[in-house]
Amino acid sequence: MTGVLFDAQKLYADAPPQPGKAITRTAYLVGLLVILGSAYSQYFFGHLGPIFGMLVVYGIPIFVTSWFWGRQMFHKALKNTYSAAKFGLGFFGAFTLLGLLAETAILLVLASVDPAALNLLNRPNPVLNVSPAYAWIMVWVSILAVGPAEEYLFRGFVFGGLLNLLRNRHWLTVSLLSSIFLAAAHLYYALVYGVASAIQFTDLVAFGMAMAAAFYFSGGNLLVPAVIHGVYDAVGFLGVAVSPGVAAMLRGLLILIGLLAALVLFIQKRRSRRGYTGA
């Protein structure tokens, strides 16, 4: 299915973003280091508090990346919303399915090589280890702040900037690399789950690549990836605020909607292909 979706640009000639004003290598490298350095600062300086921590982890890198390349990111951030929603949901469904298959394979490998490592997955997620009242606050923080901030940084700057440096070539490879940077910023998974964190990192990479595809095929839209990202994170906190069962149901519903969107894209591609061949 994904092989078909990757050819979607043939159906939407205006989908891939134009390179625009080029970002310099120095600016990109500095921006990337600031993003990762800000994310890692919380591990070196202890608990920064929710407000100051947000300012450090997100505020500083947003300011720096906006200074270097903000105009280019904002220029198309709200355009082609319909295409972004279609591709965002479709690729979310497709990559989530691929991610689940990869995670199953990792679990099987761990079970055969180091069964004790599977016990690490029983440890509580440090991000979700909060009170129900605080979880409700984080539901809205995820939707209004965390999702938009991380998409702005990792899709708008990390993915979009590198794509610009490469003059719009190798988008799939760039999406993988930018998603690895996203996973690397979530270092706490490795600290908590050890080798079993490969499960969480696989999920992050799959999600990041889906959002990168939405950004790419919509010509640089950031609104839809921000909404999807924020809702996806918020569902986890709903599991704390309400019940894990509700979170599982909502996450399953999101995946189902994504798979249906992927099926629609697949059918559209097949029909278009028959039209090209005159069938």
Give the model confidence (pLDDT) of 40-99 as tens digits.
988 777 666 777 878 889 999 999 999 999 999 998 999 999 999 999 999 999 999 999
143 in a structural domain: yes
- Residue 85 domain-assigned (yes or no): yes
**What percentage of the chain exceeds 70 in pLDDT?**
90
Under 8 Å CB-to-CB from 204, ≥6 apart: which residues? 179, 182, 183, 186
CB 86 within 8 Å of CB 210: no
For residue 24, the SS3 value is coil
Residue for token pair 């394979």: 105
Confidence (pLDDT) at 6: 44
Per-residue pLDDT tens over the stretch 189-198 = 998 999 999 9
CB burial class (10 A; 0-12, 13-18, 19+) of residue 257? middle
pLDDT at 221: 96
Q: What does residue 186 show for φ and ψ, rounded to 5 degrees?
A: -95, 60
**Residue 69 resides in a domain:** no
Q: What is the extent of the structural domain holding 96?
A: 79-277
pLDDT above 90: residue 239: yes
Residue 216 is assigned to a structural domain of this protein? yes
How many domains, in total, are found in the chain? Answer: 1
- When pLDDT is averaged across residues 108-121 and rounded to a whole number, the result is 91
List, in order, residues 6 or more apart from 114 with CB less than 8 Å away.
195
Query: What is the overall mean pLDDT for the chain?
Result: 88
Q: Does 103 fall in a domain?
A: yes
Q: Establish if 108 belongs to a structural domain.
A: yes
Tens-place pLDDT, residues 142-201: 999 999 999 999 999 999 999 999 988 889 999 999 999 999 999 889 989 999 999 999
CA gap 149, 229 in Å, rounded: 10
What pLDDT does 54 receive? 85
d(CA 238, CA 138): 9
The two three-digit tokens of residue 6, written as one number: 């990757």
Confidence tier at 11 by pLDDT (50, 70, 90): very low
CA 97 to chain centre: 15
224 vs 212: CA distance, rounded Å: 11
- pLDDT for the residue numbered 271: 82
Residues 6+ apart with CB under 8 A from 246: 238, 239
> What pLDDT band is residue 109 in, cutting at 50, 70 and 90?
very high
In a domain, 21, yes or no: no
| pLDDT reading at 214 higher than 50 | yes
User: Measured at the alpha carbon of residue 121, what is the angle toward residues 239 and 102, in degrees to the nearest 5?
Assistant: 95
Residue 52 maps to a domain: no
Q: pTM higher than 0.85 for the full model?
A: yes
**% of the chain at pLDDT higher than 90:** 71
> Which of 173, 122, 147 shows the shortest CA–CA distance to 232?
147
Instruction: Please compute the mean of the pLDDT values over residues 216-222 and round it to a whole number.
Output: 94
C-beta of residue 234 within 8 angstroms of C-beta of residue 217? no
Asked whether residue 275 carries a pLDDT value surpassing 80, the answer given is: no
Return the pLDDT at 277. 52
pLDDT at 12 over 50: no
CA distance 96 to 93: 5
> For the residues 99-107, what does the mean pLDDT come to?
95
Return the number of other C-beta atoms located less than 10 Å from residue 216's C-beta. Answer: 27
